[in-house]
A and B are shown apart, each in its own frame.
Chain A
Amino acid sequence: MTRYPRWKFFLLLAVLVLCGLYALPNIYPDVPAVQVSAADAGDEVSTGTREKIRSTLDQAGLNHGDGEAVNSSWLIRMDNTDQQLRARALLSKTLGDQYIVALNLAPTTPGWLRALGASPMNLGLDLRGGVHFLLQVDMDTVVKQRMDAWSGQAKMALKNAGVRYRDVIIDDQTLTVKFDDQVAADAARAPLRTALPEFKLSQPEARPEINLTLNPTAIKEIEDYAVDQNRTALNNRVNELGVAEAIVQRQGADRIVVELPGVQDAAQARRILGRTATLEFRLVADNYSAERAATGVAPPGTEIFPFRDQNNRPVLLEKAKIAAGDQVTNASMGFDQQSGQPQVNVSLDATGARSMQRVTGKNVGHPMAVLFIETKTEMTSVVDKDGKRTQEPRSTTDRYVINVATIQDTLGSRFRITGLDSPAEASELALLLRAGSLAAPVTIVEERTVGPSLGAENIEAGLKSMLLGMALVLAFMLVWYKLFGLFANIALLGNLVIIVGVMSLIPGATLTLPGIAGIVLTVGMAVDANVLIYERIRENIRRGMRPREAIEEGYSRAFVTILDANITTMIVAVILFSAGTGSVQGFAVTLFIGILSSMFTAIIGTRAMVEMVYGRGARAPAKLSI
């Protein structure tokens, strides 16, 4: 019998210690906490505010932890969920708009473990409660809007080049420009090509017309742009909801996943995600003095709005709008080529461009303002005539001026907004313009909301079935295979430690209820390897082999079979991961990890134990306890 290599013992020990260490944080339960962060992302929570939080909670008689800085926010541990909810309500009232107060969970992992980067497993929404939305971006509308804008550009380019055309027809993703004769069509090629580089030009022989087909890359750009813009806008909104560890992710070509762990009020989340914001371009009524605006009484034909960045200084604007946000097709930050000053490049659609051209042509040298309009619908408590409290939706609209700039020249479909203080301001304005443009309407195509109590129930159900399943399997193995059964059982427990350790180590891995089922199933299936080996050893003994030989032969013969049998299940797990959604993917993950680690523990692990008892150091056994 060959000597069992020593490195395998060390490998086994190393893996177990490592996984055990990283699995350890899972036994420290999370405690409820409130998380305070500044509304302006990136700002720290000041010492003064921290003091204010402390005194507010003390006054209300709520027990709380000292608080700790997590990234740029301040996390305060609470005793229980009830106090956590009260603390949040209290703090958001006291701290006001400048801070976002969110519910969160604080890990109780000891410092030395955290220093090693160990943290508990991520729990899926089905275990911790929360809302999952899948939003579909309406691409048809996006492309249609852009086609409208391009059709306007084509017309303008032809007009500027002095080429007469009869009509521009939009058909899905193709523009057809019709001319009176072939000469005009030929003359139109060059200006159209420069004006619309996103299109492929073709000229049918028979008719005097030019077909412009949108490049696939341009379509993809539109889609990417629309999805990213919406993702950014949604991300901002989710931040305002004050949800810790929220996820806003693109999924596939035209979908966005929003996951809000711990959110209990899905209806509120839905309202905020569905909030609309838009813009208007208006002339500043500069024939009136600034004092006039300060009186608060608007002269006829004008309105007063606060200028957000200038301490809400009142600004007097003409009532008539030049163009609105739904006419903005694109906005991006850029720099002036000569001065290097930051600017925002804006594109308008055909209608917006016409209006912009007309008004600005007459008002060169006058200031123009960008007005931001935000509509929120909130549920408010109302006492009805029977004295009963009911919830009623109420819409509130915020309007404020975000930018005032002087019109330098007649503006068309593409223009720039200058006079901005910094690149940061320019990029924020571009973002707001884009967000306000609502280039891509979204619809919710999937929602999964799990209440927190159900989440807790699911964890309990998962744990209970795991414990029972485990107990049954351990008992069976012990009765059936005696000492070897005990080895298999120890290996099984080690397997569990490895699964939990690996799940905690992989940052993207999430434990879901089907994931727990995957672990439970692995417990049942993991002993298969040992059953195979042990049955082989018994068979060998029956055939008259000596114990050590029987062991050696049993392990080596069974190995290939185990490998074959397990690889197939791993293939299935990979397929399941690619086909399934969230919680089912969790099953695929634990199944995959479980099978891999079970091969390790069931083959190398039990072998090591067998060697310790029946190996070289010991006397040659006369009989095996199997």
Chain B
Amino acid sequence: MSNKAPLNVNFMAPRKILGVMSIILVVGSLILLGTRGLNLGMDFTGGTTVVVQGEQDIDTDQVREALSGNGFGDAVVQYYGSAREVSIRVSPREDADADKVGHQVFDLIAGQIGNISLLKVEFVGPQVGDELRDQSGLALLMALGLMLVYVWFRFTNKFAVSTVSALIHDVIITLGLFSLLQWPFDLTVLAAVLALIGYSLNDSIVVADRIRENFRNSRETDPTAIINGAINETLSRTINTSFTTMLVLVALFLFGGEVMRAFSEALLVGIFIGTYSSIYVVANLLFTFKVSKDDFLVATKEEVDDMP
């Protein structure tokens, strides 16, 4: 494989079409997020989730029946991994005994079906939910902000804006897909989105690093040729790393159980988009900002010291 000639795809050729596509996807996602919103998990909305396991398969209609007769008509009953396991989600209540709902629900189902065991109860008070939501939003913004500062510090302003725009692009489209498919969005998914920010920037930095290096070292001055060359040179790395990461995510998706499903879904989608964006969005924006050799001559002075 080592003898294979380096790729030389003209990545910059369809950049306008893909740029427009990215913009459409981002705008579409924003509209979705604005109108349809995210299917926020219990961590953020508050409420109660109970997961029970029966000795035999459980009939969800029976569960619904047991609950609706006792004031839990709004309960969402779903299978949880297998037909023997059922999860019941109840939206937050106003009354003082909100924290006891989980055990009431369990008792009601146990009364109807008989032998079941309690796998999990999660109760999040509405106040805690609100706080977690605010904290999470803040964490996302903070992550993006710090990434901007870091890239600015290590590269140039044009790179910083380009790579962070690519990050925002990835995050918005991933969230947009979660909104479109109404996949549940909880704290673990937030963790996945933050990991995605780290991963996607990692990808962009590798490409950006090569673009910088080629601007400095090559006699070529045409930005299109340089950017294209850098993308081609890093392409096998970009694809290989995305591939190995996707391999482990598929493993998590298959065997990680219910909790890890949404997590691996978010990262699989995100890494797919992130790989695309580190090639196209970053390069496209750098191109739009008219990045040139001059951008690096200034930076070289202060950075030459910390190169090995």
Chain A interface (Cβ < 8 Å from any Cβ of B):
126, 134, 136, 266-267, 270, 443-451, 453-454, 457-458, 461-462, 464-466, 468-470, 472-473, 476-477, 480, 513-514, 517, 520-521, 523-525, 527-528, 531-532, 535, 538-539, 541-542, 556, 559-561, 564-573, 575-576, 578-581, 583-584, 587-588, 591, 624, 626
Q: Which of B1, B121, B146, B195 contacts A521 (CB 8 A)?
A: B195
Interface window among B9-17, B175-183, B247-255, B285-293: B247-255
Q: Are A476 and B243 within 8 A (Cβ)? A: yes
Chain B residues 184 to 230 lying within 8 A of chain A, measured CB to CB, are 187-188, 190-191, 194-195, 197-199, 201-203, 205-206, 209
Q: Are A465 and B251 within 8 A (Cβ)? A: yes
Q: Which of B142, B203, B233, B249 contacts A539 (CB 8 A)?
A: B233
Q: Are B122 and A448 within 8 A (Cβ)? A: yes
Q: Are A541 and B195 within 8 A (Cβ)? A: no
Assess A535 versus B198: contact at CB under 8 Å? Given A461-B256, A579-B136, A584-B187: no
Within the complex, the shortest CB–CB distance from A313 to chain B, in Å, comes to 41
Distance, CA A469 to CA B233, complexed state (A): 27
Chain B interface (Cβ < 8 Å from any Cβ of A):
1-3, 5-6, 51, 53, 96, 99-100, 102-103, 117-125, 127-128, 132, 135-136, 138-139, 142-143, 146-147, 150-151, 154, 187-188, 190-191, 194-195, 197-199, 201-203, 205-206, 209, 233-234, 236-237, 240-241, 243-252, 254-257, 259-260, 263-264, 267, 307-308
Q: Which of B5, B146, B190, B206 contacts A571 (CB 8 A)?
A: B146
Within the complex, the shortest CB–CB distance from A14 to chain B, in Å, comes to 24
Distance, CA A472 to CA B240, complexed state (A): 13
Q: Are B124 and A517 within 8 A (Cβ)? A: no
Secondary structure of the A contact surface, majority rule: helix
Residues from chain A with Cβ under 8 Å of B3 in the complex? 542
Distance, CA A220 to CA B117, complexed state (A): 44
Residues from chain B with Cβ under 8 Å of A462 in the complex? 256
Q: Are A473 and B147 within 8 A (Cβ)? A: no
Distance, CA A523 to CA B251, complexed state (A): 12
Q: Are A457 and B199 within 8 A (Cβ)? A: no
Distance, CA A84 to CA B110, complexed state (A): 26
Q: Which of A556, A561, A584 contacts B205 (CB 8 A)?
A: A561
Other than the given A528-B244, A565-B202, A575-B146, 4 more pairs (CB < 8 A) read A525-B244, A531-B241, A539-B233, A580-B190
Distance, CA A174 to CA B308, complexed state (A): 64
Q: Which of B119, B143, B151, B188 contacts A451 (CB 8 A)?
A: B119
Q: Are A446 and B256 within 8 A (Cβ)? A: no
Q: Are A541 and B247 within 8 A (Cβ)? A: no
Assess A449 versus B118: contact at CB under 8 Å? Given A514-B191, A525-B241, A539-B233: yes
Q: Which of A267, A447, A461, A477 contacts B123 (CB 8 A)?
A: A447
Query: Would you mind naming 9 contact pairs between A and B with Cβ atoms under 8 Å apart?
Result: A458-B257, A464-B255, A520-B252, A521-B245, A523-B248, A525-B244, A575-B194, A580-B139, A587-B191
Q: Are A524 and B247 within 8 A (Cβ)? A: yes
Within the complex, the shortest CB–CB distance from A182 to chain B, in Å, comes to 46
Q: Are A469 and B241 within 8 A (Cβ)? A: no
Q: Are B135 and A579 within 8 A (Cβ)? A: yes
Residues from chain A with Cβ under 8 Å of B187 in the complex? 580-581, 583-584
Within the complex, the shortest CB–CB distance from A388 to chain B, in Å, comes to 12
Q: Are A480 and B240 within 8 A (Cβ)? A: yes
Q: Are A524 and B248 within 8 A (Cβ)? A: yes
Within the complex, the shortest CB–CB distance from B290 to chain A, in Å, comes to 24
Assess A457 versus B125: contact at CB under 8 Å? Given A480-B240, A575-B143, A581-B187: no
Q: Are A469 and B121 within 8 A (Cβ)? A: no
Q: Are B191 and A468 within 8 A (Cβ)? A: no
Q: Which of B120, B194, B259 contacts A572 (CB 8 A)?
A: B194
Distance, CA A579 to CA B201, complexed state (A): 20
Residues from chain A with Cβ under 8 Å of B191 in the complex? 514, 576, 580, 584, 587-588
Residue from the set B6, B53, B127, B257 with the largest chain A CB neighbour count within 10 Å: B257
Distance, CA A455 to CA B218, complexed state (A): 57
Q: Which of B51, B188, B199 contacts A569 (CB 8 A)?
A: B199
Q: Are A472 and B120 within 8 A (Cβ)? A: no
Q: Are B120 and A449 within 8 A (Cβ)? A: yes
Q: Are A450 and B120 within 8 A (Cβ)? A: yes
Distance, CA A576 to CA B143, complexed state (A): 9
Q: Which residue of A lies closest to B267 (CB)?
A: A521
Residue from the set B119, B128, B138, B249 with the largest chain A CB neighbour count within 10 Å: B119
Q: Which residue of B lies closest to A484 (CB)?
A: B2
Within the complex, the shortest CB–CB distance from A456 to chain B, in Å, comes to 11
Q: Are A581 and B132 within 8 A (Cβ)? A: yes
Assess A527 versus B244: contact at CB under 8 Å? Given A448-B121, A468-B254, A568-B205: yes
Within the complex, the shortest CB–CB distance from B134 to chain A, in Å, comes to 10
Within the complex, the shortest CB–CB distance from A259 to chain B, in Å, comes to 14
Residues from chain A with Cβ under 8 Å of B122 in the complex? 447-449
Q: Which residue of A lies closest to B123 (CB)?
A: A447
Residues from chain A with Cβ under 8 Å of B51 in the complex? 454
Q: Are B237 and A535 within 8 A (Cβ)? A: yes
Q: Are B143 and A571 within 8 A (Cβ)? A: yes
Q: Are B2 and A542 within 8 A (Cβ)? A: yes
Residues from chain B with Cβ under 8 Å of A449 in the complex? 102, 118, 120-122
Q: Which of B2, B139, B254 contacts A576 (CB 8 A)?
A: B139
Q: Are B245 and A524 within 8 A (Cβ)? A: yes
Q: Which of B198, B209, B243 contacts A573 (CB 8 A)?
A: B198
Distance, CA A445 to CA B99, complexed state (A): 7
Within the complex, the shortest CB–CB distance from A192 to chain B, in Å, comes to 37
Assess A469 versus B195: contact at CB under 8 Å? Given A451-B120, A454-B51: no
Assess A472 versus B247: contact at CB under 8 Å? Given A453-B53, A531-B241: yes
